[in-house]
């Protein structure tokens, strides 16, 4: 029994971009011969990787908005997502071992176990907070008489608290990495 999820323009965001595991989307159409050739491979892999990797398919004829958003010009096109971001793609009908190799590489790179997911979340959080902090510092250096504006002072105080929290998250991340 296939565990491939049919996605549409309406549920793509929820099923793919908000998925809590790595996700593949097979962009296909019923008239496409090569699409029909790879479909059984995704059915098989969806069973094998159940609970660790999500497999989806989207009919490009019926869901043109999503197909256009991802600039699908040729099918079959397989796009791989993790935490809402496209991380890989395969164009054309390729053999099972090529798809399996891609799935394994993504699983290894984007861990789905409890500790691995926490590391990924914390790494992303710390990196983004650091970038925002740097932008905020550059902005605050350019503002004249910053201390006289109460709203700016509140922003400065909140930014300092966020820096402390980011430092704590960095420490947790360091401890997580030391455990391995």
Give the catalytic positions in this structure: 32, 35
Question: Nearest CA to 21 among 45, 47, 55?
Answer: 55
3 state SS of 104:
helix
3 state SS of 133:
helix
Q: How far apart are CA 129 and CA 29, in angstroms?
A: 42
To the nearest 10 degrees (0 to 180), the angle between helices 33-48 and 96-109 is: 50
Angle at 23 between CA 22 and CA 27, to 5 degrees: 155
Q: DSSP of 19-63, one letter per residue?
A: -SS-EEEEEE-TT-HHHHHHHHHHHHHHHHTTTT-EEEEEETTT-
Q: How far apart are CA 108 and CA 170, in angstroms?
A: 22
């Amino acid at each position: 029994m296939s565990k491939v999820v049919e996605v549409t323009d309406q549920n793509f965001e929820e099923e793919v971009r908000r998925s809590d595991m790595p996700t593949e989307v097979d962009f296909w159409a019923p008239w496409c011969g090569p699409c029909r050739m790879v479909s059984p491979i995704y059915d098989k892999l969806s069973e094998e990787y159940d609970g660790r990797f999500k497999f989806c398919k989207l009919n490009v004829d019926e869901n043109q908005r999503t197909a256009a958003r991802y600039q699908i010009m040729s099918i079959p096109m397989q796009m791989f997502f993790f935490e809402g971001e496209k991380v890989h793609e395969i164009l054309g009908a390729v053999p099972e071992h090529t798809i399996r190799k891609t799935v394994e590489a993504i699983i290894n790179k984007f861990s789905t176990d409890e500790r691995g997911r926490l590391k990924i979340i914390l790494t992303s959080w710390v990196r983004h907070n650091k970038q925002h902090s740097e932008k905020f510092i550059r902005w605050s250096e350019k503002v004249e008489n910053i201390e006289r504006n109460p709203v700016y002072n509140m922003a400065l105080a909140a930014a300092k608290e966020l820096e402390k929290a980011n430092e704590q998250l960095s420490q947790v991340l360091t401890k997580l990495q030391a455990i391995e």
